[in-house]
Structure 1
Amino acid sequence: MTDTAPQRTQYDLVPGMTAYRLSAILSKVGIGVYVITGAIGLLWFVLSGATVTGRLIVTVIYVGVSLAWTAASFLLMRRRNAAENAAGYTTRSGVLHGFDQVDPNSGVVIRRAGSAVLTKPARPHAAGSGLSMGAVLNGGSSGGVRFEEPASSTARLRFRILMIVLIVLVAGVPVIVIASHGGDTGSALVMVLLVLGVVAVVLGIVYGGTALRTRQKMSVVAARRPDAFVFLSRRTPELEDALDELLGTHGTLGQSVTVSVGALGVELWRVSADEPRVAIPWSAIGHVHPGRLLVAVNNREFPARTVHIFLGDGARLDAPLPVYGRHGITVAGADRANEVLDAFRRYTTVA
């Protein structure tokens, strides 16, 4: 895309599933593939009497299926990315910055190719215009000044059901099969419970450690800025683009960013530093807007509630700050995101 080419505000999505949705589906199906393959391998291992041949077969099955799934996922994603890129856009975040990034439901541009320079529309989109809830039109307004709670929790319910089904399969299938072959179900049950217990302990350590580190980061910044509101965000290419455009050079940010919102402005911190790595005074901020941003984490993408800070002359630079929950484990829900938005509201316009 050249500087002289007219900038588009919306694209017609190519027929078929978007790359964003395909990526999310492949990630979830991949978990199921690995779990089911592992369960089948465990059954074979038990029924084969732990012989060398049995172990070899288990290894070949697991590695072969995993490699086949990885290759199939890669080819499917490459084909879908190519279709979107040929149309001049991408629905994915953090991977294809040479193309306009669009909302995967409406086709509205939410990030310009290679830049964070966006233009706020003069008026919000009217109801029924096709803009998905919480999306940002050109980094501008989707018609609301607060984050809204989704009307349905169907996705969360489906996830919980999936987890229950997976646990039942992993715990129940080996015991049932061993019992049907006259094996010792007591030993099998103890083994399954031991494996599940180890997994639970590991997850507890990982997520508990994350929560403790998050609390420490926020406490350190809160001690340095006792009158400011502190929350956790994440460094994104879009944020760095905007800061480079506004400041030229600035301090290096970590992947996880602690943000303070107070009388001195918006400050981005690294816990190891005594001073903020980036300080944005309120005089440089035109307004902020609640929206969404697709955030890339470990080759996966998550829609995060985001405070879009519009900077610079004419407030054309969008510096998005995705909002994370109090424990830093997941992106924030509407309640936490609105607390952050209210902190900004004390000092600047929310529009």
Structure 2
Amino acid sequence: MHDQDSKIDYAALKEKIRQAGEKLGFAVVGVARAEVSQASEHLRAWLAAGCHGEMNYMARHADLRADPAALQPGTLTVVSVAVDYLPHDKMADDPQQAAISRYAQGRDYHKVVRSRLQKMADAIATLAGPFGYRVFSDSAPVMEVHFATQAGIGWRGKHTLLLSKQGSWRFLGEIYCDLPLPPDEPIKDHCGSCNACLDACPTQAIIAPYKVDARRCISYLTIELPGAIPAEFRDLIGNRIYGCDDCQTCCPWNRFAQLGDSEFQPRHRLDSASLIELFAWTESQFNDRLAGNPIRRIGHERWLRNIAIALGNGPTTVDALNALKMRQDDASPLVREHIEWALTKLENSLQPS
């Protein structure tokens, strides 16, 4: 626990912390009280409606999300940070190209952001002496968007992601700490009457402003869902093999986004590779090439499942049919099911109507 010395000027300390964060490459640093207020009630209602799908950890750790001091004893304050990550503004418009969410084309943000937060915590200890803290970057049950809004970093968009006048292509991170830093002022919502994200969602997963049903969301379906992707969504997935950026690419505020940190530049041509090329990767190639990338977490089986759907949604070419047939005897029943679906769809498209 930090010995709360009355001689410390916490307002001045906060400004020094902000400066230290900016030197470490954070686009913005803000401070919030470690209180979740009504946000935990909204979370519980969302969970009660089953909108989290099979993300059981969301329900399992709901109490920890609602009580920061249960996660890190003595927590009074949340230092919230954002890192710009937009790697480029290219779109994967060709249906034979793999569309991969931009955040996942380069280095794993969890490691990059946590490493910087640890350096920031070391800098705070140099300024204020030993203190109690814990750093997070999408790595524990933390209400990230809530704290970022309370810390004045942005507001919650209707797609539920953090939005600011610099757009939404940002990773978030937090330091829970026992320093009584003065909080920043929240920013008011600037979405107004715009419903671009609701209209753009391919599967209508944004069922109301500020409410996403994960069970319909392409990011959930291609990343979090372990089993078969429901047939009703397969056509709508298009060429998206990992995540979906549609609710961000349509957002008017993202016209003002800056290209982000070079750490997140695409690797292994994940911004331009063809579906057939990626479908040919063996499990060892998948693991080796995606070491240090967030995609590796889904494993080779889900990767093939997703690409099979995307191939089925593309043009009927000899190469696409051959690529699918080459894996028809895959050891995984899950992969085989999605390959059969894709082959049936492509072969049906050849039939005279």
For the criterion TM > 0.5, the same-fold answer is no
Name which one, 1 or 2, has greater alpha-carbon Rg: 1
What is the TM-score with the length of structure 2 in the denominator?
0.26
Instruction: Looking at secondary structure, tell me which structure has more strand per residue.
Output: 1
| TM-score under structure 1 length normalisation | 0.27
